[in-house]
Amino acid sequence: MAARRKALSVIGITLLLGVLAIPLLVILMAGGLQSPRRTSVPPETLSEVPPPSGAPPEVLTVVSWNIAWGYGWGSEGSGKARPRDHFDASIAQMGAVLKSVGADLVLLQEVDFGSRRSHHQDQARLLAQAAGLPHLARAESWTAPWVPFPYWPPSEQFGTMHSGGAILSRFPIERHEVELLEKPAENPAWYNLFYLFRYLESAEVRIGDRTLKVLNTHLEAFKQDNRVLQAKLTRARLEAAMGPYVIYGGDLNSVPPEAPYKKGYPDEPETNHESDPTISLFRDLPGLIDTIGSSTISARPEDFYTFPAHAPNRKLDHLFVGTGFEIVEARVLKEAGPHSDHLPLLLRVRFRPAQD
């Protein structure tokens, strides 16, 4: 009887330890308990990319692009895993687009720095090399030893994750900071463990005798309350950084107020932007100019749709500038094709004389 009780006790302890080990294993898979934070992250200079020569350009070319880690449509997890050559081709073609338009400054979202799902490509570096941009700043916002999504089968899971945003520049990046933003409070705690951080990436870029303040962001896609919370914090950071030579943009996951359609999207019927103030929060900030304004969009809304790339029906991507810039051109690069699930925005600006 004593031996039986001892055996049952051992079994019970073993089961208890097993149960206790499950949450620990989950936390370890997610990369630990992470929280929102602001961090200074040193920029990089790529020795293999020659620096620019000659005087600074009169017109600066800026591109904002959510590249969806080179997957294309289905990148959120609804598609099947794809072979290495698919990503090699996608990133090469994206790099060719950036080079063809003469990009001087690129704001990237959904970039993989070494993730299993994209065969451990350093996509930021590859794009910088292809576009001839020697300066790179990374905003790593999603890190985990193993992301078990999609849930089944395990062979399709994202796995090891190192992903986020990046700023590529032809000119030196002097300072760089990354702020990871609050995750949606309504998500289950276990889900948020594995969920990506949205972020605000801030850099100072030196062009001749001017210092540009460049901010790149990717706001929450699925929970409007959280997106608005992130937008308000981002607006506050912008207000503090405001000056004539500020550039702000990225995937804001919201449509402009004058958008003709704010719900009933064929690709996401559950999404509703009718009461979303995100874009107005930035348009109303003194000193900040929407590079594709309300009257332009109202006249030809379909010209400015950026999502989804294969059948665009709404504008989720936006670029804003300070009053020190004259807008020469602002458009969607429709010729970029569906290598991402977003189309990129192209902006060309001319410097106005320095303002006191």
> Residue 6's pLDDT is what?
57
Region class of 102: left (phi > 0), else alpha (psi between -120 and 50), else beta:
left
CA 257 to CA 275: how far, in whole Å? 9
Are the C-beta atoms of 288 and 313 separated by less than 8 Å? no
Residue 61 pairs with which residues in a beta bridge?
348
How far apart are alpha carbons 332 and 67 in whole angstroms? Answer: 14
Instruction: List % helix, strand, coil for the chain (3-state, nearest 5).
Output: 30, 30, 40
Query: Using one digit for the tens of pLDDT, what is the confidence trace for 82-121?
Result: 999 999 999 999 999 999 999 999 999 999 999 999 999 9
Please state which of the ranges 4-8, 187-191, 264-268, 319-323 shows the lowest mean pLDDT: 4-8
**Distance from C-alpha of 193 to C-alpha of 146, rounded to nearest angstrom:** 11
Contact between 37 and 156 under an 8 Å Cβ cutoff? The reply is: no
Instruction: Report how far Cα 258 is from the mean position of its chain's Cα atoms.
Output: 24
Q: What is the mean pLDDT of the chain?
A: 93
Q: Could you tell me the two tokens for 246?
A: 């500020």
Please list the residues that pair with 38 across neighbouring strands: 179
Amino acid present at 108: L
Nearest Cα residue to 69 out of 59, 61, 77, 60: 77
- Which residues partner with 159 through β-bridges? 147
Positive or negative, the CA dihedral 138, 64, 245, 295 is: negative
- The confidence score (pLDDT) of residue 17 equals 45
Laid out side by side, the sheet with 105-112 consists of 44-45, 135-147, 159-169, 105-112, 59-66, 345-351, 325-332
CB 94 within 8 A of CB 338: no
The answer to whether residue 229 scores a pLDDT higher than 60 is yes
Q: Which residue has the higher pLDDT, 54 or 122?
A: 122
Angle 194-195-198 from CA coordinates, rounded to 5°: 140
Confidence of residue 238 (pLDDT cuts 50, 70, 90): very high
At 20-71, the pLDDT tens digits run 556 766 676 677 788 999 999 999 999 999 999 888 899 999 999 999 999 9
Q: Which candidate, 169, 116, 112, places its Cα nearest to that of 141?
A: 112
pLDDT at 5: 63
